[in-house]
Homo-oligomer: A and B are copies of this chain.
């Protein structure tokens, strides 16, 4: 594809405010290094941002599903309308078309800086490998989870989520903002270098492939009945094997991981996922070999 415009979205969740600050700062700067690519900075969910809430009616980052008739038929849902507006305006066939979407998020869980991609799209692999090569960032490859669909970047032919944490919702943290500034600036530079054949892609891409999610232990009434175990807390991306502790219930009993496979949990104790009945998600590591075709597809096809 010919990359003319790249959409940078922040505040897709209205209570993740640090990336909005970061991109307001970036907007003030002159883009000196790439005259050919225009960057557009958009607040995903302006009404939720104003109210300091994650969303108004439903999660905007699960609302970009053009195949889901039930969702799209709900005319009164603010986020469905907003998702449709964003695609009509900035989608690949929109009025002001952008070829790539970068969606900026924060986590309350101790994920550090990471990338999320959805499914195995070669263009996304290309983009993600630029950042993994530069910063060594872990990549969460989300696929084959019917419970969770309709992510923003899936509505563009290429895109990724950048997650930075831990930071509380609605809490400005200049360290988190600085990390966004560094990553976004570098991403612009790396795309420019790749375009001008100044860098090559790394030979391999290491991804953490989504396997599924587990809920907290709950009482019969549905109340959470187990904390993230102190030994699991803040251990996102760390290897977990059979017998390792996951939860601590109110009687002080330890609930352990009983699977045979080695896993790497992520989004451990994420506040925003409690309502989705997710205490953490399990991933497995996979190494993907890159190819020159990735760059060709990224810029040409």
Tell me the A residues contacting B by CB distance below 8 Å.
21, 24-25, 28, 52, 108, 166, 168-175, 177, 224, 227-230, 233, 248, 250-251, 269, 271, 274-275
Contact = CB atoms under 8 A, between A and B. Distances in A.
A121 to B, nearest CB: 33
A233 B174 contact: yes
A228 B175 contact: no
A172 B168 CA distance: 12
A52 B108 CA distance: 15
A269 B172 contact: yes
B274 A173 contact: no
A250 B274 CA distance: 33
Contacts of A172: 224, 227-228, 269
Nearest to A27: B250
What is the oligomeric copy number?
A: 2
A15 to B, nearest CB: 9
B271 A169 contact: yes
A171 B108 contact: yes
A250 B169 contact: no
A293 B90 CA distance: 72
A166 B177 CA distance: 19
A224 B174 CA distance: 14
A246 to B, nearest CB: 13
A175 B21 contact: no
A237 B149 CA distance: 45
Kindly name the residue among A170, A171, A274 whose own CB sees the greatest number of chain B CB atoms within 10 A: A171
A274 B15 CA distance: 13
A266 to B, nearest CB: 16
A171 B269 contact: yes
Contacts of A21: 227, 250
Contacts of A174: 227-230, 233, 248
B230 A271 contact: no
A225 to B, nearest CB: 10
B228 A271 contact: no
B177 A274 contact: no
Nearest to A24: B250
14 contacts: A24-B250, A25-B250, A52-B275, A108-B168, A108-B171, A168-B168, A168-B171, A168-B271, A170-B274, A172-B227, A174-B227, A174-B228, A174-B233, A175-B233
Given A108-B168, A172-B228, 14 more contacts: A21-B227, A21-B250, A24-B250, A28-B250, A168-B168, A168-B169, A168-B171, A168-B271, A170-B271, A172-B224, A174-B229, A174-B233, A175-B233, A177-B227
